[in-house]
Structure 1
């Protein structure tokens, strides 16, 4: 036990020691900016002491994220940043610039050539792209992506590092390894969407199951140590940045944490203080995972500053979907993202609205907020514009995203009147408001949701009703019909898949085809 404590003590000191290593080994400051994309898994809009609303709530008081607060002081907070409600669709949109309705990786991926579910609630799920991203055209049920984001960065001089969760290619396909989409280095990324264990003491693996599909690969040097997965990933990422980035080359670090995805596991460094604050045992564990994630962000920011890289490094903070709430949490289900309704898996705001911060030295105005809506596929053209990389759009990979560089510059938005779209012809599994089988559009203040199971509509004024309490579809039939028509047009333009009725094989009608429901 004494020996284990010594190993642990040394391991925990690594992030403190890394910044003090010989400056001669640090990456040189390149002309193009370095880019750190810090992606958190399943982190809700309210899972932070930094309020993204116009007021602080009791949920914000529950968490401690000082480094998110510090990053916001140095950059711009986006109060209306959107992703998909499930992880793989978001990550594929990030890598491709395409909306999920177009790329058809509409649910989470895992096994090659196998859908997670087939028929649910009387609907037969279409054969979506459950194999994920493909780098050649000979893989069925996959989205061919000739220009993945990291490949374009790499081809234009960036040293590209993937660390943590990948989850955009199924087991047995080339893209289960992030290096096949353009990353020079892959740290612990594989086909699985969550870790078997967060504990180095358990080798980040299922106890007594060395062959579990959820076991995290590539972190063998931490096996047996008393170290949390979030910490191990951070240490290894900084070591690669420090030791491996070639001189005079900019780097792109995709710091893609497994936290705070299930299994909800207490981080011993922080858990006890949340118990002392009176949180339930499961919520204390969850809050400790959030704080461990925040420490990782702080360690990266400290490293950049110590090595004089902070002035030329863009830091982007984002989550891949809303906070888990339908199951596995303490307290009442579907309440963990209040005032937002529902959570992960839902088209309600709790499932798709994310905490987002961008620090771009010399461009973003410190300590500011941006209320313009952005969506995950926008990251693709934005990051390329940040890196001053031009590209020709490939017909096989049309780009749906729009750059939000003008928003970062504090200029008038070029995308003010733009509509946003979501499409999920799938079943996630857990139950809750807005979960599974939907298409949706947000335009201005308004969001229209169309449910495939019963061809029902919800219309909300998000600005006046952020909690989506008042369905105005029947009160505003003209608006409902107009938005349903626009949503239908988009779904047809991108050739979105619709589920079919199991009883007779007929397709679920498009939103604009439900005249009787719209007009009632």
Structure 2
């Protein structure tokens, strides 16, 4: 056992399922089957814990389970170099033992995707059309961007609360202008970066800030003081020496407090402190507290892993993704090298403890963290009482992020692992799904009824996963400002209003055939096209109903 940055950290080994665990699983399966006969959801029998991991800017093609012939290399360029494909043995295993969806859509960029995830709604309802393009409401004599809880008062945090769960929101929030996070329904929060954006905490020197020189706005590396010519935006640090704020933590002195906040955590905090590790420490502490109190928990882990960042450890780096602590999979378990970074003010030695840059290193660290989750659940004896969901908010930077061409920006991974529920489906699922589906799925899992008059665009996956249903959705929809994307099982319209034949998945998950002559495709293709066209008017209201009506 050891202390990492002042938060209790366990050194875990992978444990085999015990005979007791097997009996629990069998008992849970019997309960689920009996519930299905009576038309009940599994959540009406018990209250499974839920862990929702929402990765940042990672396309489905980056994961081994999707078997793409191409993936992202340096700065997101498309490659087929096997050395740049992330190795994810743990995610591969839980995807095959649980399920993973062949085609899941998000929006094309962060803010609208996070709104879709949290609300189960499309932008026609929540009015977050794109990053920095939000519906406007009048406050006093001025107009301001609408806050997500003003358009959508029932979200995943509220569902957890209604179900009697304790909940924690950890990582990136992307709520922008909403500096008060209490209305989102979560009991606790660990925000990296903090919500006083772009203000830096008193504990970190890392940050890209802006100042005016001779009347011009200049970005600079706060750590070294050097001006940055090839970096595009201000940022707080969220990887090394991160900016951290705690919301409603039981050991904090106020409802919103910078961390580190104790003598020990301040002493241990520094350039070797890694944000994703800190996040998981707080999550495990939260899980332990709720388990000890015999309270079901909901973890919303909005990890930064996958997102680009300025590399304070290697300021001359031209890649998008700073290195992570080194890890190694030996075929049974992961081994992590403790970071040993030395130096200061932009001049650092990594001493062989940090990986090279690359999106693959971030994905592999995600796999390591999923392994840690599974170990923690087994150590606590709740692996069969917990559902783990893994997905991402949009496509990889340099390939899919911001992109409305075909489904490059929207195609994300979706894995659901629920060993205690014994789902009726397993492995790859040839269905289409939306991250908007997570909100009603969570409601089904936790036993919360969404009011009939509350608009939800998502469709719960739980009936498909726990019964003999062989289809989940007929179509999925996405958006980028006034550009709309929609697809069924045979055809897809992208944001350029180009139609594609998607009846077969190409090897690279992208090279679909453009439909030039509708007479050359089947009647089923034409019929689905007409159905999709009939759906669009309900959602394509950017120019007519861009702003919400707040009563």
Kindly indicate whether residue 264 of structure 2 is the aligned counterpart of residue 208 of structure 1.
Answer: no
Per the TM alignment, residue 113 of structure 1 is displaced from its structure 2 partner at its CA by 6.5
Per the TM alignment, residue 102 of structure 1 is displaced from its structure 2 partner at its CA by 3.5
State how far apart, in whole Å, the 2-side matches of 1:203 and 1:19 are: 35
State how far apart, in whole Å, the 1-side matches of 2:125 and 2:517 are: 30
Q: Do 2:424 and 2:468's aligned partners in 1 also have CA atoms closer than 8 Å?
A: no
State how far apart, in whole Å, the 1-side matches of 2:433 and 2:408 are: 16
Per the TM alignment, residue 201 of structure 1 is displaced from its structure 2 partner at its CA by 7.0
Q: Do 1:11 and 1:227's aligned partners in 2 also have CA atoms closer than 8 Å?
A: no
SS in 2 for 1:166: coil
Instruction: Report the counterpart of residue 216 of structure 2 in structure 1.
Output: none
Instruction: Report the counterpart of residue 382 of structure 2 in structure 1.
Output: 309
Kindly indicate whether residue 84 of structure 2 is the aligned counterpart of residue 84 of structure 1.
Answer: no
Instruction: Report the counterpart of residue 374 of structure 1 in structure 2.
Output: 433
State how far apart, in whole Å, the 1-side matches of 2:355 and 2:325 are: 13
Instruction: Report the counterpart of residue 39 of structure 1 in structure 2.
Output: 54
Q: Do 2:437 and 2:458's aligned partners in 1 also have CA atoms closer than 8 Å?
A: yes
Which blocks of at least 5 consecutive residues in structure 1 are unaligned?
1-6, 21-28, 115-127, 136-143, 274-280, 326-333, 335-341, 426-436, 501-506, 508-520
Instruction: Report the counterpart of residue 287 of structure 1 in structure 2.
Output: 360
SS in 2 for 1:322: coil
Mapping of 1:54-453 within 5 angstroms? Answer: 58=80, 62-109=85-132, 130-135=145-150, 144-167=151-174, 169-171=175-177, 173=178, 176-188=179-191, 202=205, 207-208=221-222, 214=236, 216-218=243-245, 219-220=259-260, 221=265, 223-243=269-289, 247-263=293-309, 264-270=321-327, 284-325=357-398, 334=399, 342=400, 344-360=402-418, 361-364=420-423, 368-395=427-454, 398-409=455-466, 411-416=468-473, 418-425=474-481, 438-451=483-496
Distance 1:196 1:259, change over 3 A: farther
Worse overlay, 401-410 or 34-43: 401-410
Kindly indicate whether residue 66 of structure 2 is the aligned counterpart of residue 52 of structure 1.
Answer: yes
Instruction: Give the TM-score normalised by structure 1.
Output: 0.69
Q: Do 1:19 and 1:306's aligned partners in 2 also have CA atoms closer than 8 Å?
A: no
Per the TM alignment, residue 292 of structure 1 is displaced from its structure 2 partner at its CA by 1.8
Worse overlay, 298-307 or 57-66: 57-66
Instruction: Give the TM-score normalised by structure 2.
Output: 0.65
Q: Do 2:52 and 2:299's aligned partners in 1 also have CA atoms closer than 8 Å?
A: yes
Per the TM alignment, residue 54 of structure 1 is displaced from its structure 2 partner at its CA by 7.7
Between 1 and 2, higher relative CO (CA 8 Å, sep ≥ 6) is seen in 2
SS in 1 for 2:59: coil
CA displacement 1:394-434 (0-9 Å, x = unmatched): 44xx1111111133226223535x12222222xxxxxxxxx
State how far apart, in whole Å, the 2-side matches of 1:419 and 1:445 are: 10
SS in 2 for 1:306: helix
SS in 2 for 1:252: strand
Instruction: Report the counterpart of residue 11 of structure 2 in structure 1.
Output: 16
Kindly indicate whether residue 502 of structure 2 is the aligned counterpart of residue 461 of structure 1.
Answer: yes
Which blocks of at least 5 consecutive residues in structure 2 are unaligned?
16-27, 29-44, 72-79, 138-142, 210-220, 226-233, 238-242, 246-258, 310-320, 329-335, 338-353, 547-551
Q: Do 1:113 and 1:130's aligned partners in 2 also have CA atoms closer than 8 Å?
A: yes
Worse overlay, 73-82 or 488-497: 488-497
State how far apart, in whole Å, the 2-side matches of 1:372 and 1:129 are: 39
Distance 1:400 1:371, change over 3 A: same
Per the TM alignment, residue 232 of structure 1 is displaced from its structure 2 partner at its CA by 1.3
Per the TM alignment, residue 8 of structure 1 is displaced from its structure 2 partner at its CA by 8.7
Distance 1:59 1:89, change over 3 A: farther
Per the TM alignment, residue 250 of structure 1 is displaced from its structure 2 partner at its CA by 0.5
Higher strand share: 2
Instruction: Report the counterpart of residue 513 of structure 2 in structure 1.
Output: 470
Per the TM alignment, residue 223 of structure 1 is displaced from its structure 2 partner at its CA by 3.6
Q: Do 2:168 and 2:187's aligned partners in 1 also have CA atoms closer than 8 Å?
A: yes
CA displacement 1:35-76 (0-9 Å, x = unmatched): 00011111121223x322487984666212222123224311
Q: Do 2:59 and 2:396's aligned partners in 1 also have CA atoms closer than 8 Å?
A: yes
Distance 1:13 1:170, change over 3 A: closer
Per the TM alignment, residue 193 of structure 1 is displaced from its structure 2 partner at its CA by 12
- The number of equivalent residue pairs is 419
Instruction: Report the counterpart of residue 345 of structure 2 in structure 1.
Output: none
Instruction: Report the counterpart of residue 331 of structure 2 in structure 1.
Output: none
Query: Please, what is the CA RMSD of the aligned residues?
Result: 4.2
Per the TM alignment, residue 204 of structure 1 is displaced from its structure 2 partner at its CA by 7.1
